[in-house]
Amino acid sequence: MTYAIVETGGKQYRVAPGDLLDIDRFDGEKGSAVEWTNVLLYRKEDGPVVGNPLVPNVKVMGTVVHQGRRRSITVFKKKRRKNYIRTKGHRQHFTRVRIDEIAEN
């Protein structure tokens, strides 16, 4: 089983071909291609290759499937005895990507 650990948006994700990945929003329309070269670890059939800090000549390619927003969360602030209450909602944007392949050059 081959998989890789990639870094995008300041976070690290374990990806394998065929996976659907929800990541923080980035520019790209539905159906557009995505390519990551910042691969931190690549697991081949004969064992893992760990980067220092990145694995050279390995890239992960995918396709944007959906651009959307997550469910709403409620942010609530209160200061006791001061008649201070604030309620606010927030919806985070995200991009759903299908991992097509992990290519080794």
Give me the domain span that covers residue 33: 3-104
At position 100, the amino acid (one-letter code) is D
Give percent above pLDDT 70 in the chain: 100
The answer on pLDDT for 21 being more than 90 is yes
pLDDT of 1 reads 80
pTM of this structure: 0.83
pLDDT digits (tens, 9 = 90+) for 31-78: 999 999 999 999 988 899 899 999 999 999 999 999 999 999 999 999
How far is residue 9's CA from residue 102's CA, in Å, rounded to a whole number?
19
How far is residue 2's CA from residue 44's CA, in Å, rounded to a whole number?
5
At position 39, the amino acid (one-letter code) is V
Is residue 105 very low, low, confident or very high in pLDDT (cuts 50, 70, 90)?
confident
pLDDT of 45 reads 87
How far is residue 105's CA from residue 100's CA, in Å, rounded to a whole number?
16
Rounded mean pLDDT of 75-100?
97
CB 99 within 8 A of CB 64: no
Domain count, the chain: 1
55, with CB counted inside 10 A (0-12, 13-18, 19+), is buried
E strand or H helix that includes residue 12: strand 11-15
How far is residue 23's CA from residue 17's CA, in Å, rounded to a whole number?
16
